[in-house]
A = this chain, B = another copy of it.
Amino acid sequence: MSELKIIAHIITDFDEKFGVPRQSGLCSAKGRIIFEPEYRSPDALKGIEEFDYLWIIWGFEGVESDTFKATVRPPRLGGNETRGVFATRSPFRPNPLGLSSVKYEGLEVTENGLTVLVSGVDMRNNTPIYDIKPYLPYVDSHPEASNGFAGEHRSENLKVEMSRELLKLIPNDKRDTLIEVLEQDPRPHYQDDPEREYGLSFAGLNIKFKVSESILKVTRVE
């Protein structure tokens, strides 16, 4: 095999790369998997409800390169240290495949056929999907394993401040996820300018905010 087939796309609230959670499972963000017409068969999902989690193998977009770069600079290490690409989950890799374990939340019939609802997504809206597999804890779960540099450098959550007026502009069922996304500090790790206003595209809204010390203050919702 060399030619990958797109079997589905996932609809999420992240229209831009900025703000997408760094890994799967870090917040409650929802996603809906819509199959391409030729893979749109309810039979293909028979028994999927037996599982709590699913693996999604998907494609990073906008990261393709003709040359192989052996090292990357993980944001978690401040952007200064290098690591081998195969020692990171960076999108800049020979085959830009993403791997996410998401929570299975059910099936729903839509005008696009039977769709799969999931949560804990770390994918941009409309990301192409190449495979879906059940998560099997008896072989996939290694809780005692080392997190490597990703463990040593986990960042503290920010405290999110948002006025009641601004919060009202966010749909009810999106509020918790938005707060979680902001708490996790979507800024590049090496940026720390309290005057800078950032813009996060989320659920069709533009959320403007500033960060000072460990407090993130939402300034506008557009």
Contact = CB atoms under 8 A, between A and B. Distances in A.
Given A47-B83, A97-B131, A150-B138, A2 B3 contact: yes
Nearest to A2: B4
A84 B47 contact: yes
27 contacts: A1-B59, A4-B4, A4-B95, A24-B139, A38-B68, A43-B71, A44-B68, A44-B84, A44-B85, A45-B86, A46-B70, A46-B83, A47-B83, A47-B148, A48-B86, A50-B148, A53-B145, A57-B57, A57-B97, A99-B99, A101-B140, A135-B142, A137-B145, A137-B147, A141-B141, A141-B142, A141-B143
Chain A contact-residue range equals 35 or more
A136 interface: yes
Contacts of A154: 138
Contacts of A145: 51-53, 135, 137, 141
B87 A7 contact: no
B101 A132 contact: no
Interface of A: 1-7, 23-26, 38-39, 41, 43-48, 50-55, 57, 59-60, 64, 68, 70-71, 82-89, 93-97, 99, 101, 130-151, 154
Nearest to A24: B139
A75 to B, nearest CB: 14
A136 B149 contact: no
Contacts of A41: 68, 70
